[in-house]
Structure 1
Amino acid sequence: MATRRLLPGFVALCLGAVLARGFATTVGFNHLLLAIALGFVVTNTVGVPARLEPGIATHKLWLGAGIVLMGASISVDTVLEVGGPVFALVIAVAALSVLVVELLARTAFDLPERLGSLLAAGTGICGVSAVVAVAGAVRAREEQIAYAAATVLLFDAITIVVYPIVGDVLALSGTVFGVWAGVSMFSTGPVVAVGFAHSDVAGQWATMTKLSRNALIGVVVIAYASYYARAGTGSRPSVRTLWDEFPKFVLGFLALAVVASAGVLSATQQASLENASNWLFLLAFVGLGTEIRLADLRDTGPVPAVVVLLALLVSSAVSLGVLLLVF
């Protein structure tokens, strides 16, 4: 019964993936960005039929699966060689983003305290996933969750377009562009998309950097829950809650990377896994495009968007400056 309910939407994702791949070959444009554009156009013109929604909603599962399989193309030696500085930058930029949003929200723009915290988590860690995780810990109101999530999605849509342009104008290397996207963009899907739109190297570094940033979600949830618990407006998260919120595909990605680096997989097997990962990303990004709705973006209002924009400008400028000095 569940399979029958999901099948129509899954078939729609497959069709979208094939169309995006075909259009990319014809027009010479990146197939992953075309997949997002295709989903965006459909949802904002004819709309997504209700019977397709359950299957299309599985796009997050395909994104996680694609990231896991991408581990087969990662060299652990390369990660260890430059991983320390990159992880330090991830922590520094995440902390900077959270701090800037909190300060602007509370002092300059006088936003409700919990709305500011949701915006800070979404900006600093992993987009809508962080908004939802922190919302549960601080007992934010539903309208605050929706407002913060819509604001994050607005900037996901903007950065998907702007980051590749900046990368081309500045002629950034694959490593610099990938790490920059991973430390400063918001949600995992757009980060992976723009990374691979630049180059395979950029895609790999963007994904690895973003995964390490996503892993900070537990720390942020604990910090916010503790703060609001002391203020009498929240509750301390349990270990089960933290495990439920942790992005588990990170573990699969790391495990496959270790296996591939140990030489267990043949070149043919690695190529097959990389190809499968690419198709899974196509499925995921068609679905991601359907989540970018113009009506929702228009409803966000200017103030939260201004707060997040200022924080994004600070974090992206600082991180890119550091990367250009280091690399």
Structure 2
Amino acid sequence: MEYPIKHLSQKIIFITAAVLSLLPFISPAIALLMGLVLAQVMEHPYAAASQKATHILLKISVIGLGFGMNIFSTIEAGKEGILFTVASIFGVLTIGYLIGRLLKIDFKTSSLISAGTAICGGSAIAALSPVMKANPKQISVALGTVFILNSIALFLFPVIGHLFHLSQTQFGLWCAIAIHDTSSVVGAASKYGEQALQIATTVKLARALWIIPVSLAATYFFKTDRTKMQVPYFIGLFILATLANTYIPVVAKAGPYLVDFAKAGLSLTLFLIGSGLSFKTFKSVGISPLVQGTVLWILISIASLCTIMVLNRIN
């Protein structure tokens, strides 16, 4: 009888924490921290359902954020970040390959970590894994590495941004380039300010579109069926939401409420991500993949921050 009661109490605690993460005074960072704490002290009562819900919630939240944006400022932000995007993606993929060889990491695992760092974290790994024919162990190691570093970035980046007195534009651009997953990019940027959030979301989604050419290249490299490639269709819906907010007055009036719902959804997403990062996850990743992911992340973070600050001085 003890086990069913314990299991029921875990479910009640988990659901209560999930509901709390939806409240407006709970920031994305706090929601993630709540999830991380629960992951260490109790067994996850909804592990499989939580993983599925995370992917769906993130997409809905990102689309919802589009209702708070103007299409013209979105295009401007996208143009500003395109050179950074191209340079950083090719740079990270190349350096990631070399580090993977140096550390003798399994090639598919190394490629997934590099792609996750270069493009958009878990979304890139999920899209590329069927193309690469990666096995569950390779996928979980890559996801674990990316999510661990994402969690650190969500807390660390706003502190560094304030330390270096980054403007809203600079911080939004830096977040989009140097943080892996869209959820953590939006979480960190929303903590910094509304303008940073708009720029970070736009540039990050532009980066996410690189899943398509990278997946196409992988189909030839790994000799797999092109139909296995997963295209990020939700980005198109984000653009439609932005257009609706710009041109339809009724939608523009409802926009702030939709954005509030989207932010609540994002906090819940980060809570669910945190709740899946138990000590067992940390342990299963292993040292070499974590070293590869950390080195890549530090390199792209420092290089992009220095470039942004230098360009600001020139301008």
Give the TM-score band, short-chain normalised: 0.7 to 0.9
Q: Decide whether the 8 Å contact of 1:153 with 1:297 is kept in 2.
A: no
Tell me, what secondary structure is at the counterpart of 1:299? helix
Aligned to 2:274: 289
Aligned residues: percent identity? 22
Alignment of 1:1-327 (within 5 A): 15-16=16-17, 18-20=19-21, 25=25, 31-50=27-46, 54=49, 57-106=52-101, 108-229=102-223, 235-238=224-227, 241-242=228-229, 245-265=230-250, 268-327=253-312
Q: Decide whether the 8 Å contact of 1:72 with 1:256 is kept in 2.
A: yes
> Partners of 2:262 and 2:111 in 1: how far apart?
34
Offset at 1:99? 1.0
Q: Decide whether the 8 Å contact of 2:178 with 2:304 is kept in 1.
A: yes
Distance 1:82 1:125, change over 3 A: closer
Gaps of 5+ in 1: 1-8, 230-234
Tell me, what secondary structure is at the counterpart of 2:250? coil
TM-score for the superposition, normalised by structure 1? 0.84
Offset at 1:48? 2.3
Aligned letter for 1:201?
Answer: Q
Aligned to 1:4: none
TM-score for the superposition, normalised by structure 2? 0.87
Offset at 1:257? 0.5
> Partners of 1:266 and 1:126 in 2: how far apart?
29
Q: Decide whether the 8 Å contact of 2:22 with 2:268 is kept in 1.
A: no
Gaps of 5+ in 2: 1-9
Aligned letter for 2:191?
Answer: A
Aligned letter for 1:134?
Answer: L
Give aligned pairs, total. 303
Aligned to 1:5: none
Aligned letter for 2:194?
Answer: D
Q: Decide whether the 8 Å contact of 2:21 with 2:264 is kept in 1.
A: no
Distance 1:10 1:127, change over 3 A: farther
Distance 1:268 1:10, change over 3 A: farther
Aligned letter for 1:98?
Answer: L
Offset at 1:104? 1.5
Distance 1:272 1:104, change over 3 A: same
Distance 1:236 1:286, change over 3 A: same
Q: Decide whether the 8 Å contact of 1:191 with 1:207 is kept in 2.
A: yes
Q: Decide whether the 8 Å contact of 1:13 with 1:286 is kept in 2.
A: no
Distance 1:171 1:294, change over 3 A: farther
Deviations 1:42-99 (A, max 9, x none): 222123224x752674133222112112111112211233432312211211111111
